[in-house]
Structure 1
Amino acid sequence: MTSTPTLPRRHLLIGMAFAALSCAVAPAGVAQTPAWPTKPVRLIAAFPPGTPGDVIARLLQPGLQQKWGQTVVVENKPGAGGNLAAAEVARATDGHTFLVGPDTILTINPHVYKKLPFSLQDGLKPVTYFASFNQMLACNNDSGVKTLADFRKQPASKMYASGGAGTPSHMTMALLLDTTKRELVHVPYKGPGPAAQDVMAGHVNCGFIVSSLLIQHVQSGRMQAVAVSSAQRSVLLPNVPTIAELGYAGFDATFYETLMAPSSADAAVVGKVQQDVASLLSAPELKGRLSEMDLRVVANTPKDAEQRRGVDFAKWGTVAARAKLQLD
């Protein structure tokens, strides 16, 4: 008779034990997604102030500070094609340091810088591509080059300018010369600004320059815009054809201003950062500001950015090999 109530009580005790266990497990599961950020966030820009990546980071800065409740600091650390900044971020272990710069740091630099003290391929991963940008083939008015056909007729002794060896402008020209089976003399400059100035002054015939730097010079008639490197025409110079439209189907030298993190960065943090950045980039005002610089918002996911990185890594590796480009 006394054994009858024992069974329910036993079930009750077992139920209470499972409930306690569930409560104990739940906080552990939540703790796997860290509270972030817990201190100021550093955005290390790989190129000087005023370059597209730097401008994007500073436009995002106020919104990110509001979302994260922490100070967001933009620091410029230019040099070695973005490798100086990349090295600092790749070695960061604080979970609050990110790299801002062109995707070439991930897709071109690993092919042309072989003696770095860290691995660009393994040390960094893309968080998101902020926006895409293109290069514009521009020539000075005295060069006689107004079309791509004119450009192809230049003798091999003619010079072309770039913003530096291994930069988007250099690699785009290397791709075009390989595609058209031509040769020209490469004159690298310390940035696209000086390259554009020397093309405009007539010291060098032509060059691929980031389109945002050329808009005013082309519109004023001081330079001749020949073609655009990307698959889409420029929003600001819609009358300038793409190279693909001029008979080279499939030609596409599109580049991306990119947010990168150390490979060791927590996946949940990377996901949160991407979502917050994408939210800010979707605002019409910010989209408009970037459009004025001929930048098209992308804001893709880490997975999509990684997939794009893989495709372009292979493409630019082929171009670098054919150009026999080695920078160290």
Structure 2
Amino acid sequence: MTFVSRRQLATGAAALCLAGASSLRAQDAYPQRPVKLIVPYAPGGGTDVFSRLLAAQMEKEFGQPLVIDNRAGGASTIGTRAVADAAGDGYTIGMVDSAFVTNPGLLGEKLPYDTRKDFIPVSLLSRTQLVLAVPAASPFKTAKELVDYAKANPGKLTFASAGIGTGIHLAGEQFRQVAGIQIVIVPYRGGAPALADFLAGKVDFTFGAVPSIKSYIEAGNARGLGVTRGRAPQLPGIPGMDEIGYGSVDSASEMGLVVPASTPAPIVEKLQRISATTVKDAVFREKLLARGFQPIGTSTDEFRSHVDREIDKWVKIIAAGNIKPE
């Protein structure tokens, strides 16, 4: 049996108190200068827009400017690698989207960083849902009607993809695999040309991001058949894919903060607390929803578990679809 003296207990308690006080001081001292937020896309896209909205709101409590640094290219890998290679001092942080979890399956060993080891996922902050949609003139009123026709006529339906490996493409691939149908996936160079041909009736169906397709559905130019990740607050009349039997079709554009793996825990904790609290603020939440962003705000552990699950899922889907990057 081991005995511990009162002096040893007191010394241990004092050490714990000092460690806790040191952690609090580190949180309070950070940041002491502007913080760079790397966005791995060009200005103007959804990830950039969300990042700028978030930065402007976080600065109110953060006490220092959050400076957006757009590092586009390489299917988001250039900017994301810059985060991985940065000093872990909290002064370079990164915004990532769904490419963060799909690129391991798409690029494999060509990925210039280890998604699981080179980052600390701070918080999953936002999700933009996708709508399974058909043009207004389409005969399909439900997803079941579309699937039934596709099964009876394999290879006849065309699907508008925003490009190889994009969220819209992967939603279509998920749907194809889950429904057990054969379709022709038509890859466009971006969401805008894909949406234009879809609205013109040149393709049979697509998945569209809520902010991009909402106005067309409301105007009667398109018909929504289902929404990934449950009903969208902006389009509550369209059932979630889970309600119509395709809950595993869950591709969506998700955005979250990450930092280099060497970043001290007190800094990570402060970034998580402020960013998650920011997106949950009632007024800011409504502002995000109006733009098609669904606020989330997870803990660091929750985000890490989510990243692990998503990587495993997409590796399997991408392999099953034999999807190769352009």
* TM-score, length basis structure 1: 0.84
Match of 1:108 among 102, 105, 130: 102
Tell whether 2:166 aligns with 1:172.
no
| One-letter identity of the residue aligned with 2:226 | A
Distance (Å, rounded) in 1 between the aligned partners of 2:19 and 2:236: 56
Q: CA deviation at 1:28?
A: 11
Residue 144 of structure 1 corresponds to which residue in structure 2?
A: 139
Identical residues among aligned pairs (%): 25
Q: After superposition, give the CA deviation of every residue in 1:184-205 in whole Å (9 maximum; x if it has no partner).
A: 2222233323321221122322
Give me the TM-score of the superposition, normalised by structure 2. 0.84
AA of the residue aligned to 1:309: V
- Greater mean alpha carbon deviation, residues 91-100 or residues 214-223: 91-100
Q: State the match for 2:246 in structure 1.
A: 248
Of 317, 322, 325 in structure 1, the residue corresponding to residue 320 of structure 2 is 322
- Tell me what 2:73 maps to: 79
Structure 1 unaligned spans of 5+: 1-14
**Aligned twin of 2:114:** 119
Q: How does 1:128-139 map to 2 (within 5 A)?
A: 128-139=123-134
Partner of 1:227: 226
Corresponding residue for residue 53 of structure 1 = 47
- Is residue 30 of structure 1 aligned with residue 19 of structure 2? no
2:4 maps to: none
Q: How much does 1:126 deviate?
A: 1.4
User: What are structure 2's unaligned runs of at least 5 residues?
Assistant: 1-6
**Cα-to-partner distance string for 1:66-97 (whole Å, 9 max, x where unaligned):** 32332211122333332121111111115311
Q: After TM superposition, which residue ranges in structure 1, 4 or more long, deviate above 6 angstroms?
A: none
Letter in 1 for 2:313: K
RMSD: 2.7
1:216 equivalent in structure 2: 215
Separation in 2 of the partners of 1:192 and 1:46? 18
For the pair shown, which has the larger CA radius of gyration, 1 or 2? Answer: 1
Aligned equivalents of 1:275 and 1:206: distance in 2?
A: 41
How many residue pairs align between the two structures? 307
C-alpha contact 1:140 1:206 (8 A) present in aligned 2: yes
Contact 2:133 2:225 (8 Å CA) reproduced = yes
Q: Distance in 1 between matches of 2:111 and 2:282?
A: 40
**Once structures 1 and 2 are overlaid, which stretch shifts more, 245-254 or 116-125?**
245-254
Query: How far has the Cα of 1:251 moved from its partner?
Result: 4.5
Q: For 2:126, what is the secondary structure of its paired residue?
A: strand
Determine the C-alpha separation between the residues in 2 that align with 1:29 and 1:82.
39
